[in-house]
Amino acid sequence: MSWVGGKKALRDEVLARFPPKYFRYAEVFGGAGWVLFNKPYGLYDTGGFEIFNDMNSNLVNLYQCVRDQPEPLIRELEYTLNSREDFNRIRRDLVHKTNLPDIKRAALYYQLIKQSYGSGLKSFGAVPHSMWASFPMIHLASERLQRVVIENRDFEALIKTYDRPDTFFYLDPPYFSTENYYKGVNFGREDHARLAGVLEGIEGLFLLSYNDCQEIVDLYSRPGITIESLSRLNNLMQRYDGGCEFAELLIANYDMSASAKQYEQIVLFDDSDITRTQQERKIIYHG
């Protein structure tokens, strides 16, 4: 399938490669939930369920509060300040004040995400932003998460708990050689090899997205695996280096040629840094 008609979000490319049938869905490195909030709901019709997992406890707490207590969360966010001083205070509080109530911690973390540059949590974005504009999306996200199991576990434990022949895992781990970029996540180079080892022995299906590098290709070049390469554009990078492209890998233990129906988008966080893709599908390994 070639890229046609403008830039297409990487999440759409991922969804287009979902298997046509599965009973359980597990998003192992959930992050901002770009895939979960756009995937089909159909497994509920067969009694299946979804799992969202992330090792960042602040993020998991936020999702739990969005799902279970959206109104108290919105009240906590209602009169937040969009200021550098407040932003820096929040960063300190989340590190040093470990006994904050769940709703307070969730509101602070959400404010940090919304007011940071590119949702990266590291620096103040310094742009006008209405927190109230996010409240309808919090309600939509709360509704969408009602039947989602939210976990805060190591990927190996998570996969072993939910692995069945009818389970489908989507994984978007920290990219190779960029592990230090992911705040609050301890994921070293040995974990990339551990992840490959865990996935090699599973009963279910998996789809994995990675940056394109030889180390990852070598880890997954084995029987039963297909590795596909895509080029991508990042909106943040385009501001400074127009036309800058990066190579992305999609890795699966099933045939990725079947397409899946697309659904209405929910964006709990800003989408300014969503990766865009172009060019044609390129299979670089088929085991």
pLDDT of residue 179: 57
pLDDT in tens, 246-282: 788 999 999 887 654 444 556 676 655 444 444 456 7
Distance between CA 138 and CA 67 in Å, rounded? 9
Distance between CA 130 and CA 122 in Å, rounded? 20
Q: What angle do CA 109, 15, 38 make, to 5 degrees?
A: 45
pLDDT of residue 274: 44
Looking at every residue in the chain, the average pLDDT score rounds to 84
Q: Does the pLDDT at position 232 exceed 80? A: no
Distance between CA 71 and CA 103 in Å, rounded? 10
Token output for 49: 């369920």
Residue 197 has φ and ψ, to the nearest 5°, of: -65, -40
For the segment 157-186, the average pLDDT, to the nearest whole number, is 83
Helix (H) or strand (E) holding 234: strand 226-234
pLDDT of residue 3: 24
pLDDT in tens, 7-32: 346 788 899 999 988 999 999 999 98
Residue type, 261: K
**Percent of the chain at pLDDT exceeding 70:** 80
Q: Does the pLDDT at position 5 exceed 60? A: no
pLDDT of residue 81: 92
By the 10 Å C-beta count (0-12 exposed, 13-18 middle, 19+ buried), 253 is classed as buried
Residue 27 has φ and ψ, to the nearest 5°, of: -100, 105
Q: Which structural domains are found in the chain, ordered by start?
A: 8-56+152-286 (3.40.50.150), 65-140 (no CATH)
Strand order in the sheet with 205-211: 8-9, 275-286, 226-234, 246-252, 205-211, 167-171, 24-27, 49-53, 148-151
Q: Does the pLDDT at position 34 exceed 90? A: no
What's the pTM?
0.83
pLDDT of residue 280: 54
pLDDT of residue 158: 98
Number of H helices and E strands in the chain, helices first, is 10, 9
Q: Does the pLDDT at position 183 exceed 60? A: no
Pairwise pLDDT comparison (277 vs 286), residue with the higher score? 286
Taking the CA atoms of 122, 86, 33 and 171 in sequence, report the sign of the dihedral they define: positive
Residue type, 3: W
